[in-house]
Amino acid sequence: MVQRKSVVPPDYLPLSCRFAMEFVEDVSDLRDFLGNTAVMRKAPQFRRDPYLIGVAGGTASGKTTVCQEIISLLGDTNKRVVIISQDSFYRNLTDNELKLAKEGNYNFDHPNAFDDKLFKEVLLELKEGRPTKIPHYDFVTHSRIPGKEEIIDNADVVLIEGILVFYDPEIRSLFDMRLFVDTDSDIRLARRVQRDLEERGRNIAQVLHQYTTFVKPAFDEFCFQTKKFADLIIPRGAENIIAIELLVQRIQEILRTPRSSSTSSLASNSSEKLNGEENNKPTRFAAGDCQTNGFVRPH
Ligand SMILES: Nc1ncnc2c1ncn2[C@@H]1O[C@H](COP(=O)(O)OP(=O)(O)O)[C@@H](O)[C@H]1O
Ligand SMILES: O=c1ccn([C@@H]2O[C@H](COP(=O)(O)O)[C@@H](O)[C@H]2O)c(=O)[nH]1
């Protein structure tokens, strides 16, 4: 009797049952399953296809806290869920830009402040399930810390948070789900002041000057405009436990649904073209395909 169990994929599998690995306990079970008649030939390697969730919202809206809450509520799962931040992809500054940044006179809230080329490359690598290096950004020195990269490998779900993660259409189209954390701007400013003084080495005059000169105008012009691309808006951020619980249920459902990256990205791109907004449903294999219990697909 073949048991439905997750296994490390064997090197040799019949092509007629490429998605059967998680149904069978080992290759001999697979042979029983196929009645010993299938021609065994070298099959492509299989790997997990990470589900990418973009989390946008203004500064200090609670994007990171919402992501942490999602992970905490997902609880004990055999899935690997990680958070990365768009802040890791701030551009390297010239000497003159660095001088301006230290005076609070550099616009870190404009889309040009980000290295979108690197951000895109990293998201594509993540989407393809390849081990990916994430730079570490230091808000005190306004620069990436050399040699402090984090490697992400084998993730099942990647939460990608940042003020402008939905700004670039190509980057936006890489997300399987898009969330927008919508928190009152007075509350955001209060949190930002406290955080920047405590954690980012700023003084109150700098924070308020940067906020009124760059942060608020750029939020209105760029970040807020991307709210329309969200599949789900979370008013009040992490306080909104009902929204987060519903979201967690949805993610759990998605994690249980078989899915192949090629079909899911096609669905994602075509729905964006049709609707201007993504309406991505978990992809199911056609009847007759062998279903797996996770995001497994051939290389
Ligand atoms: N619901 C909340 N209640 C109180 N403090 C919060 C709440 N959500 C976030 N914070 C605090 O506000 C600051 C900004 O939150 P964070 O999640 O880092 O925002 P973002 O990632 O959007 O910049 C942090 O110091 C965080 O602890
Ligand atoms: O060197 C820097 C880089 C960025 N900022 C500010 O950070 C926020 C984005 O981070 P959140 O965690 O989403 O708040 C952005 O508003 C920049 O103004 C900075 O001050 N210094």
Residue 241 domain flag: yes
The alpha carbon of 247 is separated from its chain's Cα centroid by a whole number of angstroms, namely: 14
pTM as predicted: 0.77
pLDDT tens for 225-254 read 999 999 999 999 999 999 999 999 999 988
Which residues line ligand 1 at a C-beta cut-off of 6 Å?
57, 59-65, 161, 191, 195, 237-239
pLDDT tens for 177-226 read 999 999 999 999 999 999 999 999 999 999 999 999 999 999 999 999 99
Residues 114, 24 share a domain: no
Q: What is the reported pLDDT for 48?
A: 56
pLDDT above 90: residue 280: no
CA 185 to centroid of ligand 1, rounded, Å: 13
CA 223 to centroid of ligand 2, rounded, Å: 13
Q: What is the reported pLDDT for 255?
A: 83
Q: What is the reported pLDDT for 259?
A: 54
pLDDT tens for 164-179 read 999 999 999 999 999 9
Ligand 2 site-directed mutation target among 139, 209, 220, most atoms within 8 Å of CB: 139
Number of domains in the chain: 2
Please name the residues in contact with 77: beta carbons below 8 A apart, sequence gap of 6 or more.
Answer: 252, 255
CA-proximal residue: ligand 2, atom 16 (nearest): 59
Residues 101, 33 share a domain: no
Residues 20, 156 share a domain: no
Residues 99, 35 share a domain: no
Residues 60, 31 share a domain: no
- The DSSP letter of residue 35 is T
Residue 161 domain flag: yes
SS3 state of residue 242 = helix
The percent of residues in the chain predicted with pLDDT above 70, rounded, is 70
Residues 148, 17 share a domain: no
Q: Which contiguous run of DSSP H or E holds residue 274? A: helix 261-275
Q: Which ligand is closest to the CA of 67, given by its number?
A: 1
The tokens of 289 are what?
A: 């395909």
The percent of residues in the chain predicted with pLDDT above 90, rounded, is 64
Residues 116, 194 share a domain: yes
pLDDT above 90: residue 45: no
Residue 254 domain flag: yes
Residues 121, 19 share a domain: no
Range of the domain at 31: 10-41
Residues 121, 17 share a domain: no
238 CA closest ligand 1 atom index = 1
> How confident is the prediction for the chain on average, in pLDDT?
77
Q: Which ligand is closest to the CA of 144, given by its number?
A: 2
Residues 91, 25 share a domain: no
